[in-house]
């Protein structure tokens, strides 16, 4: 593992590392913010999953989250959104291939060789973080858009792995919208019955645990009606008695201006649950 960025930030350190991922079969980068408290004690971890076209850089440079992480004593880990490298399969367009891993374990060629993002985020990355940094095994997860989809599905698929989950503008029903249908057909194949294992609306109906879920969605989001449809998740959650707090935010769009406006409340949400016994 090699540190490639190291910057002082709000009394802590904003770093970026690269490492050889056995799960993905390529070199991966992740960002980690270590708050000042990590200098003398172990701290819990919030995993952040970014959206289409993003890398580990977008959140750490645009969200303004380090200030709140320092206040609450939480580390934040941001992986890249897909495997990378010359040997990794790619496609034209922004919504499939590099930068668009959709946090699934691909089963179809040529994607299956590297696109195992679910297992990377759920298993390999936490093992790397907990072995090398002053952090506890208490984890929370959040994300934006495709990353919001990833945060919800990872939490719902892995009972006991996280203590809380939140999302900004998540793709909650990928089986029913163009982004998800395109990605799932490529990564998982034509058998749509296999897609449900990565669809939050399907997963929440049979969830084995009920984590605190906070979702913020901008009412002026250009993708709201065509790709996001958060009311579908709220309806599925209400029908199954799963507590979901969905907040529709007037005037806000799909950008990091939106995320920066409410990231402090999301980190407080996770801090409360991460520090509860």
Tally of CB atoms within 10 A around 10 = 17
Q: What share of the chain is helix, strand, coil (3-state, %, to 5)?
A: 40, 25, 35
Q: How confident is the model at residue 249 (pLDDT cuts 50, 70, 90)?
A: very high
Per-residue pLDDT at 111: 98
- Stated pTM of the model: 0.97
User: CA 215 to CA 165: how far, in whole Å?
Assistant: 9
User: CA 106 to CA 128: how far, in whole Å?
Assistant: 22
Question: Is position 216 annotated as part of the catalytic site?
Answer: no
Q: How confident is the model at residue 265 (pLDDT cuts 50, 70, 90)?
A: very high
Per-residue pLDDT at 276: 67
Residue 277 has pLDDT above 90, yes or no: no
Per-residue pLDDT at 232: 98
Residue of 216, 221, 261, 269 with catalytic role: 221
Report the first-to-last Cα separation within the chain, whole angstroms. Answer: 33
The chain-wide mean pLDDT, for the chain, equals 97
Residue of 21, 142, 145, 166 with catalytic role: 145
Question: Is position 123 annotated as part of the catalytic site?
Answer: no
Question: Is position 86 annotated as part of the catalytic site?
Answer: no
Under 8 Å between Cβ of 151 and 166: yes
Residue of 72, 118, 144, 254 with catalytic role: 254
Site of tokens 């034209």:
92
User: CA 38 to CA 59: how far, in whole Å?
Assistant: 20
Residue 129 has pLDDT above 60, yes or no: yes
Residue 233 has pLDDT above 70, yes or no: yes
């Amino acid at each position: 593992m090699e540190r490639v960025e190291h910057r002082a930030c709000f009394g802590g350190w904003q770093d970026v590392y690269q490492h050889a991922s056995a799960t993905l079969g390529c070199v991966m980068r992740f960002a980690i913010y270590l708050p000042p408290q990590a200098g003398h004690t172990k701290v819990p971890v919030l995993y952040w999953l970014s959206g289409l076209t993003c890398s580990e850089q977008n959140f750490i440079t645009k969200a303004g989250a380090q200030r709140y992480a320092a206040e609450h004593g939480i580390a934040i880990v941001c992986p890249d959104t897909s495997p990378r490298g010359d040997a990794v399969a790619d496609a034209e367009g922004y919504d499939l291939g590099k930068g668009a891993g959709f946090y699934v374990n691909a089963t179809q060629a040529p994607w299956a060789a590297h696109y195992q993002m679910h297992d990377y985020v759920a298993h390999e990355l936490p093992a790397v973080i907990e072995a090398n940094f002053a952090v506890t095994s208490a984890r929370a997860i959040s994300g934006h858009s495709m990353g919001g989809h990833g945060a919800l599905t990872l939490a719902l698929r892995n009972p006991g792995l996280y203590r809380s989950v939140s999302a900004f503008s998540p793709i909650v029903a990928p089986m029913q919208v163009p982004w998800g249908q395109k990605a799932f057909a490529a990564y998982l194949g034509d058998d749509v019955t296999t897609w449900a294992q990565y669809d939050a609306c399907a997963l929440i109906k049979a969830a084995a645990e009920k984590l605190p879920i906070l979702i913020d969605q901008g009412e002026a989001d250009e993708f709201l009606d065509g790709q996001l449809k958060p009311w579908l998740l709220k309806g599925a959650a209400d029908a199954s008695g799963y507590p979901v707090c969905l907040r529709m935010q007037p005037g806000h769009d799909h950008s990091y201006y939106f995320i920066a406006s409410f990231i402090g409340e999301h980190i407080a949400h996770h801090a409360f649950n991460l520090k509860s016994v």
